[in-house]
Amino acid sequence: MRGDRCWSVEKRSWIALLLGVATGLAATTARAADCPGHPDALGTSRVLVVDPREHPRIGAMQYKETLPLHDHEVVLTFDDGPLPKYSNQVLQILADQCVKATFFTIGHQAQANPEGVRKLAAAGHTIGTHSQTHPLTFNKMTLEQARPEVDQGIASVKAALGNNASALSPFFRVPGLLRAEAVEGYVGSLGVQMWSADFLADDWRNISSAKVYELAIKRLEARHKGILLLHDIHERTVLALPKILHELKARGYRIVQVVPATANRPATPTEPQDWLVHRPSDNVPVAQWPDIPSFDFTGATTHLSLTSTDVSLLSSGPTTTRRAARETAWPPVTSPASRQTAAALPVPAADLFEIQAPIPRLLARHDALPAQPLRRAAKAARRPVRVASLRKR
């Protein structure tokens, strides 16, 4: 009996183990099928659907909101293309790793290389716009100057896409990240999402490809997730990109593709705090004080100065609890009826804001104190001291 029971338990354990192995093999096979010929590819882990009107400006470098990414998730973005010499190489590198990215295309480049724009759409990448001529003066432009740059850039990319104009996403990145209220307001009025970035690799600078790789990984590791800004028009970027993708996979990072919400494709469910660059934490105290309570002081007696009776009481010997309660109760207890019938708060005394003379140090109750000095001290305590007399001193 015991042997049969042990065999039954062992059999169930082996079945569970085999099912787990089968599931893992199926997942690996699926990933390999997603990227034929590259079983060790980085791949694209998920697609994030966003609504530009709900979150019109994103990017931790300049805005309070950024994409709601999970830990170790990365969104790759490329600006300034297409430039066939380098853009085609970038597309091939991404294809070899089955990675999807977002390309912010310049209108003038799209006019010169419409086939490059169509290649982006055919490869399934997300396409946004990056102005018509890439002026580095958006931060100084008026609305009248910014509007044609935005509109013509969108029109040029749509024209390059031809019959597939719907492949253009309502995403815009201002050249040089030189944001300004004029362009931000106009882009938002079009229902287009303004993109900044979470970190850079400085690949537009005259640095080596090794430096581009180093900065990309270093800055990503500092944030553990985010939007990386690169350019598909530089040789240094082409040389650094394979190493960046390899290192992302080695360190457990996952690629996320971002697409806009449509009538048939609802936005990915998120919480408002998921978009915040600085999210509130239960481990960090928040200085949010409760509202000031409403106290009813109607009928209360305000003691503006120390009287001779108070001095006598404090300097006298020990008193019984009943006597102390009777003589020092403040404020007096009022009945609910009297509080309800009170018309208004008592008018402050005329000398309320006068500077009072310092109150003499009171003696302990058990100390002896002659009656005459007490009366003089009490009289001095009641006498107001004028500001003018203080200035003379």
Distance from C-alpha of 232 to C-alpha of 238, rounded to nearest angstrom: 7
Domain boundaries defined on the chain: 35-275, 308-332+351-392
213 vs 83: CA distance, rounded Å: 21
The single-letter DSSP state of residue 76 is E
User: In terms of C-beta density within 10 A (0-12 exposed, 13-18 middle, 19 or more buried), how is residue 222 classed?
Assistant: exposed
**DSSP helix/strand/coil, 70:** coil
φ and ψ at residue 46, rounded to 5 degrees = -160, 165
Give per-residue burial for 290-302: e unless 16+ CB within 10 Å, then b. eeeeeeeebbeee
- Tell me the average pLDDT across 22-38: 51
Q: Which ranges in the chain belong to alpha helices (H)?
A: 2-34, 84-96, 107-112, 114-122, 143-161, 181-189, 209-223, 235-250, 308-315, 321-328, 336-341, 371-382, 387-392
pLDDT value at 277 more than 50: yes
pLDDT at 331 over 50: no
Q: What would the mean pLDDT of 36-50 be, rounded to a whole number? A: 93
Going by pLDDT thresholds of 50, 70 and 90, the confidence category of residue 298 is low
What number is the average pLDDT over the span 23-28?
Answer: 35
Residue with the bigger pLDDT between 386 and 322: it is 386
Average pLDDT, the chain: 79
Mean per-residue pLDDT for 369-384?
Answer: 58
Which tokens go with 169?
């996403």
Structure tokens at 311: 């001095």
Q: Give me 135's structure tokens.
A: 């002026």
**Averaged pLDDT, 6-21:** 41
**pLDDT for residue 73 is more than 80:** yes
The pLDDT assigned to 36 comes to 83
For position 267, what pLDDT does the model report? 98
For residue 13, pLDDT beyond 90 = no
Establish how many alpha carbons lie within 13 A of residue 94's alpha carbon, considering only the half-sphere containing its beta carbon: 26
Cβ 184 vs Cβ 57: under 8 Å: yes
| Surface-to-core class of residue 50, CB atoms within 10 Å of its CB (0-12 exposed, 13-18 middle, 19+ buried) | buried
Average pLDDT over residues 116-138: 97
Q: Which two tokens stand for residue 382?
A: 């009641």
Confidence of residue 39 (pLDDT cuts 50, 70, 90): confident
Q: What is the pTM of this model?
A: 0.66
pLDDT of 336 above 80: no
Whole-number pLDDT of residue 384:
59
CATH class (in words) of the domain with range 35-275: alpha beta
Give the per-residue pLDDT at 34. 74
Q: What is the pLDDT of residue 61?
A: 97
